Amino acid sequence: MADPVDLCAIDDVRAYRQKPDSDTDQDGVVAQLITAASRAINTYCGIDITPIATLAETHVFVYRGGGTLSLAAGRKVAQSVTSVVMDSDTASPSALSSGDWQLRPKPARDGVYRWIRIPGAGTAAFGPHKPGERGTAEREASVTGLFGYPEIPADVRHWAVVTVCEWLDRDVSSFSRTFSLDEARLERPEALPSAVRAGLAHYRQVSAP
């Protein structure tokens, strides 16, 4: 059974390697490598590209000011958001109206948003502070919405397949590596091939503008 984190399937790897359907000798190994490669890709990108969301969920994020609440900082992306509640860990949480926040980037890349713009940070929309009182540096915010990608992006699926095939072949030359003159030995190659990292670079977590 495929792991929920998997970014590609055994059939994807078989097709890439042009193997007949009857050739199943490596399927067990391929399945393990798919899961390992998928976890490595998610770690490299800094966000959870999988699993694909089908039901609304609520996740807690940390708001650090500046008018932007980063979802990616919590390793999440969202297809849609239905509510934002500030100070959700206090006795006086403040639910924002839909006009108090906007999803970004716009337009959404691959159908998902990485952060929420909150122009009224520190104003009455977040619960007024007493005169002379300063707000806290960090505040919890509960965000309810549909998290995850609507589907695995085609290029992410491709690079997951490439990674699995590279690992299967044990082709050290395809990995980025360095040579230590002091120790006169080849150092351990990086987990993801350099071509894969380059192809996935635009998925990596970025700071909101």
- What six digits make up the tokens of 61? 């994020």
CA angle 96, 100, 106 (to 5 degrees): 125
Euclidean distance between CA atoms 139 and 63, whole angstroms: 5
Q: Per residue in 153-203, pLDDT tens?
A: 999 999 999 999 999 886 444 444 444 444 444 444 457 999 999 999 999
Euclidean distance between CA atoms 12 and 160, whole angstroms: 10
Q: Per residue in 80-110, pLDDT tens?
A: 999 999 999 999 999 999 999 999 999 998 8
